[in-house]
Chain A
Amino acid sequence: MTKLTRRQTLALAGSAVATLATPALAQTSPIKIGFGMALTGGLAGGGKAALLAYQIWAEEVNARGGLLGRKVELVNYDDQSNPATVPAIYTKLLDIDKVDLVVSGYATVPTAAAMPVVMQKGKVFLSLFALAANDQFRYDRYFQMQPNGPEAKFEFSRGYFNLAQNLNPKPKTVALVGADAEFGVLALEGARENAKKAGIKIVYDRSYPPNTMDFGSIVRAIKATKPDLLFIGSYPPDSAGMIRAIHEVGLDATMVGGGMIGLQFAALKQQLGPLLNNVVCYDLYTPEPTMNFPGVVEFLKKYQERAEKAGVDPLGLYIPPFAYAEMQILEAAVNGVKSLDDKKLADYIRANSFSTVVGDIKFGDRGEWAKPRILLIQYRGIVGNDVEQFKQAGKQVIIDPPQFKSGDLVVPFESVKR
């Protein structure tokens, strides 16, 4: 029998320990989910709120024992709302941090900027509020978490014109105005088509530069055309400016609103208060009885408790439930295929329907929701500027689509000046 030297014995013992320990370590090492997120810059309002929703999900899933028996760890970097930073962030996440899964940051531009890197690595990619970001790439492992449906640009005005054309008397004219930026341009393109289909004549069709401060001149020019309807495609500061100017100038119409980003956020709801009454606007979730999906109330309660400390939207009705639902889908897919294999995950997500806090979701063409679900809501009975009232049902009444409807459209819109 060969006698082992002390050095050989130590080497053998070491390798035995390593062999035994490796699978155990691999099993207990966390599943890393990586993403860039706008934590500074213009998109930070949405980005930080989405991050809080992801964190709530991660805490909950870890409390349940993790995914595939492993803890979940979120690895994220601030993309500064700057798409130029995004490719480097995703390269680092995948090559240096060796994350297991990636999801997108908040909004279209950062998502589109991440796509080439993500596609090159063949990763499954869930995105958050990325408007038509996969239309050019046509990546088959991409899934989008905003209920726009495959024809997004028509959806932001579809409900608006559907309801308008069924009014009695039927409105004859519409004024279209929007920001000369991505969303505004897209929303107005869709509105033009929908107005045409509804047989409503466009009497004003203009866009304004994104840093516009004086909306009085724009609203006066619109008022001079005496439109029956006013459709607006705006971003948060301009949404506030437009609503104020409409009341200051005294513009009355059958319907006012449409595609206004910002009115979904607590800050603008609170600031504008009663000025919002009878304004119609697209939305994605409001606390109406028709939207009481399993788990949404519990999620919002958790989010709202932590929102102030995190310095994010105190209501969290717009982006956070969808961010949380995104992670619910990822969780369901991982549990469904019992693997982190990107192809298997993508196939599973494409083939199945998911029950989430924002309802049942099935993905379709280009990874968009198979069936669009943009809501048209109308503000009603807003009194004063207390933000708490927006947590109640009946303040943001869903008037379209019919399956989620919680009230009828009230017309006309009358400015305060009147």
Chain B
Amino acid sequence: MTFSLDLFSNAIVSGILLGGFYCAIAVGITIVFGMLDIVNIAHPAFIMTGGFIAYFANTQFGIDPLAACAIAMIPAYYLGRLLYRFYNVAFEKRGEESLQGLAFFFGLLFIIEVALLLIFGVDYRFVEAPYIGPTIEIGFISIPWRLLIPLIVGLGLVLVIIAFLSRTFIGKAILAVSQDPLALRLVGGSPVKVKEVAFGLSIATAILAGALLIIIQPIEPSFGRDFIGRVFCITVLGGMTSLPGTIVASMILGVSESLTSTFLGPSWSPAIAFGLLLITLAVRPVGIFGR
């Protein structure tokens, strides 16, 4: 493909837009996997749940998909807390969280998928909103609103969580758990309570990410599995516990996919993106922002 400024600029912009969406889907995994050491591979199923909540609210009541999921984040947070409490009692307390815990989340992934399928059917579902369709033109750069909204919301979501973690007591406790749960226990804190809040938070972010996904493209219940590789890649690349790292890694992945797709051919995108991950881990095993 011949290089041109038009193509290059648009590829960068497309990559950043895509990166914004990746941020939103990966932030929950950074919290649970990076900070809490819980391999929640059912996370994409919660993203799909968010997508279907947005679909239901949009088609039945005409509610904006983002507004619907913003409201749904509240019950999702409490549901996440309950889920963690169960996981803690059933697996963590018994020291069986590694393999059995993984199997639990794997099972949960399928249960959620089948539940969505039974409720919403097997067809592709989509939403309608004023920002799906129009495009902003700035010179030779075109920015579709359906990708710009996920960028704004995705980045906003991560920035709010960063502020929450750095400025609130419970947020700092979550960071403490991610660094040294034993030390937190020694100063009288309860790692289980703190983890419960963090897990609830991650599920709430997944619900919002689902709304962003269905804004971008139609979804069906088993669609979430496609994201498992990507979200874990972003978390590892970003440095596991670092939310700014998640933003940077999402952008790197989005821009590298977009540039590769434009100039080398789209089939090379995953190879380049995961190649970058391997190189980063070889040079810096803790990830970009890892400590």
Contact = CB atoms under 8 A, between A and B. Distances in A.
Contacts of A212: 261, 266, 269
B113 interface: yes
A208 B261 contact: yes
B134 to A, nearest CB: 9
B95 to A, nearest CB: 32
A180 B267 contact: yes
Interface string B119-137: 0111111101000000100
A410 interface: no
Contacts of A180: 267
Contact of B144 (A207, A208, A244, A267): A244
A237 B123 contact: no
Contact of B261 (A217, A267, A313): A217
Interface string B182-201: 00000000000000000000
Contacts of B21: 213
Contacts of B10: 216-217, 220
Contacts of B7: 220-221, 224
Nearest to A180: B267
A248 B122 CA distance: 28
Contacts of A237: 124, 217-219, 223
Interface in B243-281: 254, 257-259, 261-263, 265-267, 269-270
A417 B258 CA distance: 22
Nearest to B127: A271
B229 to A, nearest CB: 9
B124 A206 contact: no
Interface string A243-277: 01000111000000000001001111011000000
B218 A240 contact: yes
A81 interface: yes
Interface string A375-397: 00000000001000000000000
Given A40-B114, A221-B261, 13 more contacts: A44-B220, A45-B124, A208-B269, A209-B269, A216-B142, A217-B15, A220-B10, A220-B262, A221-B7, A236-B124, A237-B217, A240-B218, A248-B144
A237 B213 CA distance: 12
Nearest to A271: B126
A167 B117 CA distance: 45
Q: Which of B120, B254, B261 has the most CB of A within 10 A?
A: B261
Given A41-B222, A81-B222, A213 B113 contact: no
Interface residues of A, number: 46
A262 B124 contact: yes
A48 interface: yes
A41 B222 CA distance: 6
Interface of B is mostly: helix
B11 interface: yes
B269 to A, nearest CB: 6
A218 interface: yes
Interface string B21-40: 10000000000000000000
A241 B215 CA distance: 11
A270 B259 CA distance: 32
10 contacts: A40-B221, A214-B14, A214-B15, A217-B258, A217-B259, A224-B2, A237-B223, A248-B144, A266-B123, A267-B218
B123 A312 contact: yes
B88 to A, nearest CB: 30
A217 B122 contact: no
Pick the 7 closest A-B CB pairs, nearest first.
A311-B121, A208-B266, A44-B122, A211-B226, A217-B261, A267-B124, A206-B265
A116 interface: no
A160 to B, nearest CB: 22
A65 interface: no
Interface in A359-418: 385, 417
B282 interface: no
Interface string A11-42: 00000000000000000000000000001111
Given A218-B261, A311-B122, A224 B216 contact: no
Given A40-B117, A208-B261, A218 B266 contact: yes
B81 interface: no
Nearest to B230: A211
Contact of B266 (A206, A268, A270): A206
Nearest to B213: A213
Contact of A216 (B122, B144, B265): B144
Contacts of A224: 1-2, 4, 6-7
B110 to A, nearest CB: 9
A232 to B, nearest CB: 13
Nearest to B118: A311
A156 to B, nearest CB: 20
B135 A267 contact: no
Contacts of B124: 45, 236-237, 240, 262, 265, 267-268, 271
A252 to B, nearest CB: 14
Contacts of A268: 124, 218
A248 B262 CA distance: 16
Interface in A310-325: 310-313
B18 interface: yes
A105 interface: no
A233 interface: no
B113 A40 contact: yes
B238 to A, nearest CB: 19
A218 B267 CA distance: 10
A236 B10 CA distance: 25
A82 to B, nearest CB: 10
A213 B257 CA distance: 10
A312 B121 contact: yes
A220 to B, nearest CB: 5
B122 A312 contact: yes
Contacts of B147: 214, 216
A213 B218 CA distance: 11
A250 B144 CA distance: 12
A265 B257 contact: no
A236 B123 CA distance: 10
